[in-house]
Amino acid sequence: MAARSIGSGTISFGLVSIPFKLFTAASSVSVSFNMLNKRTGNRLKQQYVDAVDKSIVERGDMAKGYEFSKDQYVQFTEEELKKLEAAKTDSLELIEFVPESTVDLVYQEKTYFIGPDKGGERAYQLLSMALKRAGKVAVGRFWTRGKEQLVLLRPYRTKGLLLNYVYYANEVRSFDEVEVGADATFKDIEIELAEKLVEQLSVAEFDAKKFKDEYEDRVKAAVEQKIAGQEVHVAEEAPKAQIIDLFEALKRSLAAAEEKKDEAPLSARPPKKAEPHVEKEAKKKKA
């Protein structure tokens, strides 16, 4: 079944125009709960209450306000807010092209698939190919929900394109605010063990299908238990991790990883590298 587009527009840069369709790339899937009256089991209705006189305010009596000072607001009507919106357009304007390696992942907010609209297939594929060969992504502006959204357009797979909504600079906090401690020094053996542990747990590629939301499974199982009138079993709290000697921790982690690897089915184990003397003997036999 073909995906259903959630929007359309035109990619534009220079004198080039490429009609496109916008598709949802990913959406969060998680269990949700409704608020109920514990006594009656009925669902609760949310109401807005005036913070001063405690009266219930109906939706028709609400207005949007901007707090310019502590507890001081200016009100806006819907008509006034409409006037402040950017001029509506279906154009995705590409402003500049930058090396993909220069884009910090922390700026990425949402991801959408971009597909060609009727008549734009060749230009669409050419843009994808050009970006991939150049190792660059496009920076652009896209009108959405009344404002201009900063976006990145990047090549995806063989001949596709991805659209990333990105945060503006003033929306991303500086990592300099995070305390990481003074510069640490490490023994060679510690670095070697850490690298071995990374190597031991390394796989060829990321595969999201290997992982699932176990919390969702537990909730669904609990729902079935409650429907059947059974008691819900609560998992015991995991013991808190203790900070121990770094060298000892690395040795234990490496040993545990090797043990887990040995327990894996033979088909799932990576091929063992031949020892140097074994490789030499094999070469002699071939000769």
Instruction: Tell whether the model's pLDDT for residue 12 goes beyond 80.
Output: yes
Q: Are residues 12 and 151 in the same domain?
A: yes
Residue pLDDT, tens place only, 216-255: 888 888 888 888 888 777 666 666 666 567 677 777 787 8
Is 158 in the same domain as 197? no
pLDDT at 276 over 70: no
Statement to judge: residues 125 and 191 lie in one domain: no
Do 189 and 142 fall into the same domain? no
Q: pTM for the whole thing?
A: 0.68
Kindly state whether residues 123 and 190 are assigned to the same domain.
Answer: no
Q: Does residue 192 fall inside a structural domain?
A: yes
pLDDT tens-digit series, residues 175-204: 999 998 999 898 898 899 889 888 888 889
Domains in the chain, number: 2
Mean pLDDT for 40-68 is: 91
Say if 119 falls within a structural domain: yes
Domain assignment present for 110: yes
Portion of the chain with pLDDT greater than 70, in percent? 85
Q: Are residues 141 and 189 in the same domain?
A: no
Q: Is there a single domain that holds both residue 91 and residue 155?
A: yes
Shared domain for 125 and 249, answered yes or no, is: no
Average pLDDT of the residues of the chain: 84
pLDDT of residue 18 exceeding 70, the answer is yes
The more confident residue out of 253 and 51 is 51
Residues 146 and 264 in one domain: no
CATH number at residue 151: 2.40.290.10
Do 255 and 149 have their domain in common? no
| String of DSSP letters for the chain | -PPPPSEEEEEEETTEEEEEEEEE-----------B-TTT-PBP---EE-TTT--EE-GGG--EEEEEETTEEEEE-HHHHHHHSPPP--EEEEEEEEEGGGS-GGGEEEEEEEEE-TT-HHHHHHHHHHHHHHTEEEEEEEEETTEEEEEEEEEETTTEEEEEEE--GGGS--GGGS---SPP---HHHHHHHHHHHHHT--SS--GGG---HHHHHHHHHHHHHHTTPPPPPPPPPPPPP---HHHHHHHHHHHHHHHHHHS-GGGSPPPPPPHHHHHHHHHHH-
Where in the sequence is the domain holding 11, given as residue range(s)? Answer: 7-26+85-171
Percent of the chain with pLDDT over 90: 44
The average pLDDT across 148-155 equals 94
- Confidence label for 82 from pLDDT (cuts 50, 70 and 90): confident
Let me know if residue 2 belongs to a domain.
Answer: no
Domain assignment of residue 43, yes or no: no
Tokens of 187: 């023994």
What's the average model confidence in pLDDT over 73-99? 86
